[in-house]
A and B are shown apart, each in its own frame.
Chain A
Amino acid sequence: AQRVTQPEKLLSVFKGAPVELKCNYSYSGSPELFWYVQYSRQRLQLLLRHISRESIKGFTADLNKGETSFHLKKPFAQEEDSAMYYCALMMDRRQGAQKLVFGQGTRLTINP
């Protein structure tokens, strides 16, 4: 069965330090991976997707099919990065499945 695992519920780093939020997935088909972010008192919003291979707010994530991972990274953390981060998997669209499978989330706290 498809599954997304975020092993860290809480992650705390100092401002300016590198950040890596881990995400591993389990899916036999061709997945699409996403990172969503929820800032305090705001709604869940898309941060980035692996298809776009883009960098948003300094964050990048590379899909590693061999390790079935999609870790989120940022070289220098900023205080405004403090938020809840969710990794999500969308199953192969060709099979008609549109739902997102979410990890449990990682609460990132950036200390000044």
Chain B
Amino acid sequence: NAGVMQNPRHLVRRRGQEARLRCSPMKGHSHVYWYRQLPEEGLKFMVYLQKENIIDESGMPKERFSAEFPKEGPSILRIQQVVRGDSAAYFCASSPRAPGVQETQYFGPGTRLLVL
């Protein structure tokens, strides 16, 4: 099992462009979480998705950010009209089932977004 995959690992965008970050969960996992880590800070929860459903998006900025996890293919975090403050590391995690006791989130290597 290759683990959680994220691509690209590094992404450079100019202000006003769009950024698309992809996350392929571990095989057999149907739950995906996105976290953002700003410089010198801890990871902050953004959104929790199951296949074709957004379960909790309480950490997502209200504008410019969206996430999806289609029936087929990876989960995508989309940032429209990026600004310098969006520069951060974006981590994806997946878990195998509806969370219960002993559920573990497995993390990807992250995508480092730099907005020029």
Residues of A that sit less than 8 Å from B by CB: 4, 6, 36, 43-46, 49, 51-52, 86, 93, 96-105
Known: A93-B100, A97-B56, A98-B99. A103 touches B42 (CB 8 A): yes
Known: A93-B100, A99-B56. A43 touches B107 (CB 8 A): yes
Residues of B that sit less than 8 Å from A by CB: 3-4, 31, 33, 35, 40-45, 48, 55-56, 58-59, 91, 99-110
B107 partner residues in chain A, CB cutoff 8 A? 36, 43-45
Give A46 to B3 CA distance when docked, in angstroms. 14
Known: A43-B108, A51-B102, A98-B56. A104 touches B41 (CB 8 A): yes
B40 partner residues in chain A, CB cutoff 8 A? 104
